[in-house]
Amino acid sequence: MLRGMVFIDHMNFDIALQKYYKSLSKPTIKLDYNKLFRNVCTQISNVDFLKGFIFVPKPDEFLMKDKNLENYYNWVTGMKNAPYTDVIEGRYVARQVDENIPMEIGNKSTYYKVEKGTDINLAVHAISKAFYNSYDIAFFLSADTDYIKVYEVLKSIGKITVVVGVKGQNVNSIRPIVDNTLILDEKFLDKCKRDAVVRH
């Protein structure tokens, strides 16, 4: 059996997921990431899922005032308790658009957001774990071309690389660099839904 690890650039993946469900005119489903990781690994024969790594940015103090981002980070914090899953945090930083105009959380024209650390964290973890021979095959849930150099390094040391996109994402420029690409559609994602919470 091949030892499989999953690396997900969560914000990138989540944006693609939302776009896909919007194109279907349906609400975005809530995923059980442990199910997602395991099901992704089953798409290639003879792969044993070992562990998943979720790369996320932690909002700074100002951005934490945004209810959506606060809820997002609460979800991230909860994921730290998930089995066979590590959460690796980068930073999400607010920057003033105009130094003379103070940032207001309710006025998006006064600030912009910068994601820091996610790409480098994913690259470092994927390459260092390959170097220590922790896995045979790596699944990357991101269609971001910024990771192409990472895939080249992994292939050069004999690791199998699989890029996993959401339907609607273009992975054509990545396909020649990696060993395989997978595209997730509604039928696949339905198998990874979070179980409904039964309230008594």
The pLDDT tens digits for 15-35 are 999 999 999 999 999 999 999
Task: Name residues whose C-beta falls within 8 Å of residue 175's C-beta, 6 or more positions apart in sequence.
Answer: 163, 181
Average pLDDT over every residue of 110-121 = 94
The pTM is what?
0.92
Cα pseudo-dihedral 67, 73, 75, 79, rounded to 10 = 180
Q: For 191-198, what is the mean pLDDT?
A: 80
What residue type is assigned to position 3 of the chain? R
Per-residue pLDDT tens digits for 160-170: 999 999 999 99
What is residue 3's predicted lDDT score, i.e. its pLDDT?
A: 98
Residue-level pLDDT at 195: 82
pLDDT beyond 60 at 200: no
pLDDT digits (tens, 9 = 90+) for 117-154: 999 999 999 999 999 999 999 999 999 999 999 999 99
Pick from 81, 76, 107: nearest CA to 94? 107
Tell me what pLDDT residue 136 has. Answer: 98
Quote the mean pLDDT of the chain. Answer: 94
- pLDDT of 66 strictly over 60: yes
CA atoms in the 13 A half-sphere facing the CB of 111: 16
pLDDT at position 198 over 60: no
In the chain, what are the domains? 2-190 (3.40.50.1010)
